[in-house]
Amino acid sequence: MKLNKALSLVLVFSFLFVNAQSKKISETKFGKGMVNHVAKDSSWSVKFAPRIQMLSSTNWNYEGDQFGKANTSFLIRRARFKFSGFAFSPKLQYKLEIGLSNKDISGATKYTANSSRYILDAVIKWNFYENFVLWAGQAKLPGNRERVISSANLQLVDRSLLNANFNIDRDLGIQLRHHIKLSDKFVVREIISIAQGEGRNVVTGNIGGHQYTGRLEFLPFGIFKSKGDYLGSSLQREATPKLAVGISYDMNKDAVRNLSNRGLYMETDIGLHETDINTLFIDAMFKYKGFSFMAEYSNREADDPIVKNSDGSETGVIVNEGSGVNLMSGYLFLKNFELTGRFSTIDIKNKDTTNQYTLGFSKYFVGHKLKIQSDLSYLTLNTLGDNLMFRLQLEVHF
């Protein structure tokens, strides 16, 4: 109830602020935020940028020697309010992102006070010394590249099977970030994170241990334009080849959920099952002119993956151990049409190996801020049959 009241206040404030600004001629452009305001004394700023994704999806299951009847659904996939800016000094920045769609806020449990999970990001970023930046709050952990790329900036309609099964998503904690230059171009980034380990919007305090994540990134040919190493597609058309290689290692000590800090709570008849879960990510992004290529590998292991009751009987919940590979490449034509191909495969212990082949087509009107994307995916499962899926999505991001 308190969270609903807080959200109502945010919505009212947003409406009043936008209404006040609408009486003036705005100097901002589409895609640069609906509101961009800096205090007269430059002591604070705010940028307000709502966004929405509308998705249509059609699936066909392979039955016998032909595909069955089409199953079509329509969905508001994402609807969000994003606030960002600085407070007191440009060295102290903040980001607040609130989800409004059912997909954004679902997942209420007793560990989230049975409340909808409205808050996605709520983080302060303090550049306290030279190239050191301290993050505090709820934000994405420095895991696989595809997960850290915003859902607004994806090259296809949505992320891959690898991400769905192995990503470590958002959590509450602190992150220390730093970068150094080894030469005029060669840049190395380091990130260390300590988090609660149970995911976002948990209100019950720390249950198991803590989650420790480290990441190193190498950019031998220099920085990408407009942070393009974390943007899908090659919209900036790099004049020279650019490469980013990253490696992350995550240890969730005494984890209580079967996907590390996501998924099902591993409940037993005497409490929560706890086990150490370790996840490795290796990824790369390459861009040159209109061409882009991204590769990812993941591997997850757990000390005690099978959840059991006190009498030794299995509850049916198991940690997703295994590995995955994701390969994606695309070419952006001069009229901002893009053709993209992706291959993803995951191999989870005691389950079928799953392969997915995806062909995507995108039209960018104002970069990632206004675009139409479609893709066709063919999914193969060894014993459960095949599946064909077509998706069409519109992204509008002020």
The confidence band for 29, taking pLDDT boundaries of 50, 70 and 90, is confident
Q: Which residue has the higher pLDDT, 272 or 19?
A: 272
Question: Per-residue pLDDT averaged across 145-173, rounded?
Answer: 97
pLDDT confidence of 28, banded at 50, 70, 90?
confident
pLDDT attached to residue 17? 55
Rounded average pLDDT over 114-123: 95
206-225 mean pLDDT: 96
- Reported confidence tier of residue 18, pLDDT bands at 50, 70, 90: low
* Integer Cα distance of 156 and 55 in angstroms: 12
Q: Torsion over CA of 301, 302, 303 and 305, rounded to 10 degrees? A: -130
pLDDT computed for residue 384 by the predictor: 62
66 pLDDT band (50/70/90 cuts)? Answer: confident
Confidence of residue 366 (pLDDT cuts 50, 70, 90): very high
Q: Which of 308, 309, 304, 305 is nearest to 320 (CA)?
A: 305
Query: In this predicted structure, what is the pLDDT of residue 208?
Result: 86
Query: What is the 3-state composition of the chain as percent helix, strand, coil, each rounded to the nearest 5?
Result: 10, 55, 30
Provide the pLDDT for residue 383: 58
Number of other CB atoms surrounding residue 101 within 10 Å: 15
Residues 6+ away with beta carbon under 8 Å from 48: 14, 17, 18, 33, 34, 35, 81, 82, 83
For residue 350, what pLDDT is reported? 85
pLDDT, greater one: 65 or 221: 221
What are the structural domains, with CATH classification, of the chain?
A: 2-397 (2.40.160.10)
pLDDT of residue 225: 96
Residues 321-332 pLDDT 10s: 999 999 999 999
Average pLDDT for the chain:
92
pLDDT at 65 over 90: no
Average pLDDT in the 222-228 region? 96
What percent of the chain has pLDDT above 70?
A: 92
Task: Give the pLDDT band of residue 382 (cuts 50, 70, 90).
Answer: low
The residue-averaged pLDDT of 200-227 equals 95
Alpha helical stretches, state H, 61-219: 102-105, 145-148, 161-166
pLDDT of residue 217: 98
Buried-exposed string 214-228: b where 16+ CB fall within 10 A, e elsewhere: ebebebebbebbeeb
